[in-house]
Amino acid sequence: MPSITLTAPAKVNLFLKVLGRRRDGYHNIHTIFEKISLADKITITSVPHGIKVLSDKVITRNPEDNIAYKAAELVIREFKISSGVSIYIRKKIPMAAGLGGGSSDAASVLMGMDRLFGLRISKSRMIDLAAKLGADVPFFVLGAAFATGKGIGEKLKPLNMGRKLWHLLVFPGFESATKEVYEAFDRLDFALTGHTGDVKIGRLFQSFTVFKVIEAMLYNDLQCAAISEKKVLGSIIERLTASLGKKVVLSGSGSSVFCLYRTGKEAVKAKARIYRSIPAVMRKHWDIFVVQTEKFEE
């Protein structure tokens, strides 16, 4: 039976400002997305009927609750496909970590089924389909390494950053619930000041190729809220900042954090420094990755 395998990259948020709560319960944001080289592998196989989702890790108790399942169901319904699909997910991206792993998997299912069944879905239609699945999914079908996101993240504009970025990325070994972090943000009544949606932040990022300027502009409005939910996250950020002498920022609603480097060599050295300077008992459950901008074209 015909099959196709795709790479589903993770993302980080270089900038994330929460602009306010919407009537539907979601929040309007202004963010800068970046695809990174940490990725899942998605294999989609055409089968006579039905949808099956398997993985090398437990992703949901009920397969029908998985966003990859919902993506396949959406394509089959929208395009009246008479056959089914079997989806196998090889997970590398930590789950509930602010890295968009589930959203990226869903986007890969949309794009993979388009190719597998020769649907020739337009980019605009693909983004519309992606938006029905989740706020981050449209970014992963956009095809850009960097983009600004507004609304709930679905209103996208590609960015030409002019350079590739390297990251030291730390997943601390525990998940972070997006809903709870946003509720904490609302509960703590943060003033909507400082960076705002009116600032042409994408233009600023795009116009600066000086590394120190890009690094200085890293920002996440949800960081304090995430720390209020998981106090240990604050300790981890403080320890990494002290050990690396770098600005460390949360991705999305967490729990992953990252810092930037000019080169892969510098990032690898920083990873070694973590192992030397931070006790094993503290980082026992950490996953530490050296990653770069995904498919950056110079």
H-type alpha helices, the chain:
67-78, 101-116, 123-131, 137-142, 178-187, 201-207, 211-216, 223-229, 231-244, 264-277
105, 114, 136, 221: which is the annotated catalytic residue? 136
Instruction: Please tell me what DSSP assigns to residue 24.
Output: T
Q: Catalytic residue at 198?
A: no
Distance from the Cα of residue 286 to its chain's centroid: 18
| 256-to-60, 71, 76, 168 alpha-carbon distances in Å | 20, 25, 34, 11
Q: Catalytic residue at 136?
A: yes
For 249, counting Cβ atoms within 10 Å of its Cβ (0-12 exposed, 13-18 middle, 19+ buried), the class is buried
89: part of which helix (H) or strand (E)? Answer: strand 84-90
11, 35, 92, 230: which is the annotated catalytic residue? 11
Cite the active site residues: 11, 136
